[in-house]
Chains A and B, each alone.
Chain A
Amino acid sequence: MTSQSKRPPSVEVHDVHKQFGTVCAVDGVTFRIEPGEVVALLGPNGAGKTTTLDMILGLTRPDRGEIQILGTTPRQALDDGQVGCVLQQGDLLKGLRVHELIRAVSALQPRPAPLAEVVKRAQLDDLLNRKVTKLSGGETQRVRFALALVGDPALLILDEPTAAMDVSARRSFWDSMREFVAADRTVLFSTHYLEEADAIADRIILLAQGRVVADGPASQIRAVAGAKTLRCTLSDAQPEALSKLPGAGPITVHGTQITIRSLDSDRTLRALLDGFPLASDIEVTAAPLADAVLALTDAGSHR
């Protein structure tokens, strides 16, 4: 064995299933994340993102399938302080100041990171003496980020970390995250914003209805999930003819109002202008992620 020997995958999820009552939350998910990757788990609400992350963290036991973190069980990896996480919800322990809370949790770690480094990364310098009950949503999230960093983890897991943040808090949060990633660490985060996934992650795993519907480099997923909606006014429209437009997905006709969902809006638009010169009031907008996923799964099943 040399020091260059291959490191185990940071996360390995194999054919994992989880059912809650009659609801199938996760239905056979498989993926592998190598050390140093920054991966977004993207999907609309209810796609199974949180359940998947909970199972990776050992908070929820899968009905079927196997999960390994850094070559071991989730519990062992957590005990070794190798995994830091920011959960989607949860209050901090009240009655403490920020620095006290960080010290308390840091003391539970086998190899705690230096406090100063944690504070710098989470940008908490001016909040250290604040009571945890007196923090805004974005500030609370920064403290929770700090709590995820106290063990000096190799893998960071974030469940919709920016959900409670405004735009500027969101930007500074991801700025500090990029710094963390630069130190060759692995990050897996969930989000339902395609732009966020695209801007931060190298790779996107797209989940819908408990399944992986796409997995690949961020640019590739943006191309397939970044569906656009074309709207125009056109009398005497024939849906059959419109559906032959290149890239066109599902089409809805509402009187003279036509809506075309497209995975390649540029091509669709050109063909539309050529083939239907009477089309007017043309508008192209980004489809919501839920629609994009729908288009993607439809396109997949029609092919």
Chain B
Amino acid sequence: MMTYLKYEVLRVLRNGAFTGYTVGFPVGFYLLFTVVFDQSPVGGSAFDAYYMVSMALYGAIGTALTGVGAPIAMERSKGWTRQLALTPLRPGRYLLIKIAAASVLSLPAILAILLCGKLIHRVDLDLGTWLALVPALWVGALPFVGLGIAIGYTFRDESAQGVALAAYFLMSVAGGLWMPTVAFPAWLAKVSEVLPTYRAGELSWRLIAGESPFSGGALILAAWTVAFLGLAAWRFRRAS
């Protein structure tokens, strides 16, 4: 299973579009909004640090939705999942491989952005916080692995990629990953508060502000996680 995971990761990494979407875009956004524009602090954190975790999460979510989830539609239509059904690999394990692949594959984006923050903007956090950011970002991206798998098992080929991208952009913008929700009109800020993107970001935003990552908002994120993973399991069972 580890060997299969290794090749699964390798083959996604070889896809140039994947690296562009999940590493190139977030790094580009980060540099654009932190180097070119001068921004005021958000919620007690310097904008450089705040936006660093926003974009790292943005990259990790992109990995889950467009790098791992939606391409499942391709595997299905090309008959690869049928081929896998004839191996001893159990469906639950297949899903675990996809989740593990999403975690591993989100590392390049997460590390690239954290490095940009550290090296370019001298973002100053203690070691424990740096180390806690990676699992916090992974946990934040987990519901989107579920959503991605559900999309991959519901739509076909290009339409799966389209739906995944639409969900990705809409939820990222509305959840305050592209710009902090303090800049939002009141009604939109209200909408953000129930979105998994905002609640996923909250874990890391609280970390860099020196607070415990878990607040009432973490329950909302947990609910989304259960809901999306449940949706994935349901779509998966329907398809197989």
Contact = CB atoms under 8 A, between A and B. Distances in A.
Contacts of B7: 96, 100-101, 103-104
Nearest to A101: B7
Given A103-B3, A108-B89, A91 B79 contact: yes
A92 B84 CA distance: 11
B82 A90 contact: yes
A95 B87 contact: no
B193 interface: no
Interface string A93-131: 111100011011111111000000000000000000000
B88 A81 contact: yes
Interface in B217-238: none
Given A108-B87, A109-B87, A89 B10 contact: no
Contacts of B11: 93-96, 100
A197 to B, nearest CB: 23
A169 B2 CA distance: 35
Interface string B80-110: 1011011111100000000000000000000
A79 interface: yes
A90 B78 contact: yes
Nearest to A57: B86
A87 interface: yes
Nearest to A96: B11
For chain A, give the interface size range: 20 to 34
Q: Interface on chain A toward B: helix, strand, loop, or mixed SS? A: loop
Given A78-B87, A79-B88, A104 B82 contact: no
B15 interface: yes
Contact of A107 (B3, B14, B75, B80): B3
Interface string A57-91: 10100000000000000000011110101010111
A79 B85 CA distance: 10
B183 interface: no
Contacts of B10: 95-96, 100
Contact of B88 (A80, A89, A93, A100): A80
Contacts of A106: 3
B4 A104 contact: yes
Contacts of A107: 1-4
A40 interface: no
B4 A87 contact: no
Interface residues of B, number: 24
Contacts of B82: 59, 87, 90
Nearest to B87: A108
Contacts of A85: 86
A140 to B, nearest CB: 12
Contact of B79 (A81, A89, A105): A89
A147 interface: yes
B79 A90 contact: yes
B101 to A, nearest CB: 12
B80 A90 contact: yes
A82 B7 CA distance: 24
Contacts of B87: 78, 105, 108-109, 151
B195 interface: no
B12 interface: yes
A108 B86 CA distance: 11
Of B1, B15, B75, B87, which is in contact with the most chain A CB atoms at under 10 Å from its CB? B87
Contacts of A101: 7
Contacts of A81: 88
B229 to A, nearest CB: 23
Interface in A137-181: 144, 147, 151
Nearest to A82: B88
Contacts of A110: 88
A189 to B, nearest CB: 15
A95 B19 CA distance: 14
Nearest to A147: B83
B177 to A, nearest CB: 28
23 contacts: A59-B82, A59-B85, A78-B86, A79-B88, A80-B88, A87-B82, A91-B79, A91-B80, A92-B80, A93-B80, A94-B11, A95-B10, A100-B10, A100-B11, A101-B7, A103-B7, A104-B8, A106-B3, A107-B3, A107-B4, A108-B4, A108-B89, A109-B87
Given A91-B78, A95-B15, A107-B4, 13 more contacts: A78-B88, A87-B83, A91-B79, A91-B80, A93-B80, A95-B14, A103-B3, A103-B7, A104-B7, A107-B1, A108-B4, A108-B89, A147-B83
Interface of B: 1-4, 6-8, 10-12, 14-15, 75, 78-80, 82-83, 85-90
